[in-house]
Amino acid sequence: MAAAHGVQFEEILSRAGDAGLWQALIVLWSIVGSVLSGVHSFSSAFVGGEPEHRCVLPGELANETASEEQLHLWLPYNNATGQPASCERWDAAGGSRTVGCDAGWVYSRERFHSTIVSEWDLVCGRRWMMSTVQASYMFGIFCGSMISGVLSDQFGRRRVVCYSGVLFIISSLATAGAGSYASFVTLRFITAFSGVSIYNSMFILTMEVMGPRWRSLAGLVYQVPFSCGMMALSAAAYLVRDWRYLQLVISAPSVLMLGFWWVLPESPRWLIMQDRLPEALNVLVAAARRNKRTLPSDAEMMRMMSEFRAAETKLSPDDDEEPQRSALQSCANGIGEIFRLVGTPRMRRISLASFYNWLVVSLIYYGVTFNSADLSSSPYLAIFLAGLVEVPAVLLAVPLISRVGRRPTTVLTFLLAGAAILCIMAVPAGIAWPKLTLAMVGKFASSAGFAVIFLYTAEFFPTTLRNVGFGASSMCARMGSMAAPYVVDLLSPVHWAIPSCVFGLAGVTAALVALLLPETNGRRLPETVADIEQGAWHPAPRDGYQALHSTEP
């Protein structure tokens, strides 16, 4: 929160340059973490790709290829597709009773040479274990998002990024040598935990060193490398078909994160608020030198930083007047804040609508991406296109919400995503390209919806509950992302169209639920729950509206 009177941090930063080479280098280094986050978030589509498989036939040797005659004698065939059953065989040659694949499976090497599915037999009755691989990764993001924020505020942005980088390097590279399913899932969880810690802390650092005019652009640019990571993953997976080598290939670039220790500065804003003014001055001097700017005298800079900190401290509760809360008291207070989100009628309507929309947009975003790999004849092309369509979706989202409005844009993106995905069910099973096209329309809309709701949510919660409301909504998004792989992996074997039905209906219902949210475009933000209950959504002055977009995210 900016100081209401006196010196503001933006004024201090402008003396050292608020959009120069120093900031550009920080953004450039942030790309490393963003790209690798995109790579590893979707790597399970290839590392855990499911090859075509069938039961091992009685008496069949490991390196032996069964003849077509033997396959027809021992395996039930699907009359519609002409393919043998994947999870059962006849109890005897030409029999009439089916049994499970008690002798194991034979896996095709046409698409994947080796995956964790073929190595640990994560098929049929064990298919849920593959879903858990991706769900555990999302759970790592869930935990990392909560904990890294606390650590970043306590120990600094740079320290969290640097230590998380080391943890990311170790865990991602070690995953390639995982000897068991349990160790693989554990290492993936650690990779997700450290990856999101880097992603979030670098985002905060980037926003805190950028000038107000450039923060929106920097925020958009920060999301684009994530999509580029998805595209790079597809290219790497196409060239490297063995999962262990692929894991090494996509993890090796993480050693660049060691550079964080030498090149990343600490946030000068955070240092000032921690009363570490000499260190903040050193950072600003380095920034001014890189940006070719001349700072005022050290004494003048120290005066400005002291004034800013004094003003900020007055706007916060005085630590001397209030005893330190224990961890248990802080936890209880946090729970109480969450209950305030649903304690009054209008506040409850807005909160529940926000929770549902975040859950659905994340469910669709991840679900459609993974399901498109199943719908397409080439998972490599599907994931590449899913990353490609995300770039224009993110870039178009912010101008759209300013022209059309927050609520109409949110409704439109959910409707478009839901309608496109539902249309997939009308495409005959044997035709792949219309399904992939519709899936990409759904991915485009869900990506735009994610960008819109991210900005929208920060505006319809009151100031007193904005952080807790945003955090609770984000938690619901993680629940959606954890549910997505189970919908795809466990329901698609029942019928290929069921996941599309689930995601499509979820999108349509989310569009209807979004109508319950208030329009905030050009309106003053509510300060308290009482403002929400009174419907205090008054038009803001032009200068006040722009000030909203120049503050910290």
Q: What is the dihedral of CA 455, 191, 231, 416, to 10 degrees?
A: -40
Instruction: Give residue 403's pLDDT band: very low, low, confident or very high (50, 70, 90).
Output: confident
pLDDT of residue 145: 81
Beta-carbon contacts of 145 under 8 Å, excluding residues fewer than 6 positions away, are 196, 200, 474, 478
Packed helices 127-155 and 181-209: angle between N→C axes, nearest 10 degrees: 40
Residue-wise pLDDT tens digits, 213-272: 777 677 767 778 999 999 999 999 999 999 999 999 999 999 999 999 999 999 898 898
Phi, psi of 95 (to 5 degrees): -75, 180
What distance, in Å, lies between the first and last C-alpha atoms of the chain? Answer: 10
Tell me the C-alpha distance between 238 and 524, whole Å: 50
Query: Where are any strands of DSSP class E within 46-145?
Result: 53-55, 88-90, 98-100, 105-107
Phi, psi of 28 (to 5 degrees): -60, -45
User: Per CATH, which fold does 343-539 belong to?
Assistant: Growth Hormone; Chain: A; (1.20.1250)
Q: What is the dihedral of CA 214, 219, 225, 227, to 10 degrees?
A: -140
pLDDT of residue 2: 42
61, two tokens:
């040797």
Q: What is the mean pLDDT of residues 474-485?
A: 88
How far does Cα 268 stand from its chain's mean position? 27
Q: What is the pTM of this model?
A: 0.83
What is the percent of the chain where pLDDT is above 90? 36
Instruction: Give residue 315's pLDDT band: very low, low, confident or very high (50, 70, 90).
Output: low
Poorest-pLDDT segment among 224-228, 451-455, 540-544, 545-549: 545-549
pLDDT of residue 327: 46
Identify the residue with better confidence: 6 or 363.
Answer: 363
Beta-carbon contacts of 386 under 8 Å, excluding residues fewer than 6 positions away, are 42, 230, 368, 369, 372, 440, 443
Place of tokens 């930063």: 13
Q: What is the mean pLDDT of residues 397-422?
A: 89
Output DSSP code: residue 75: S
Q: What is the mean pLDDT of residues 188-206?
A: 90
123, two tokens:
């098929």
Beta-carbon contacts of 13 under 8 Å, excluding residues fewer than 6 positions away, are 209, 211, 268, 269, 284
Identify the residue with better confidence: 535 or 107.
Answer: 107
Poorest-pLDDT segment among 58-67, 259-268, 543-552: 543-552
Q: What is the mean pLDDT of residues 104-129?
A: 90
Strand partners, 100: 88
What is the domain partition of the chain in residue ranges?
343-539
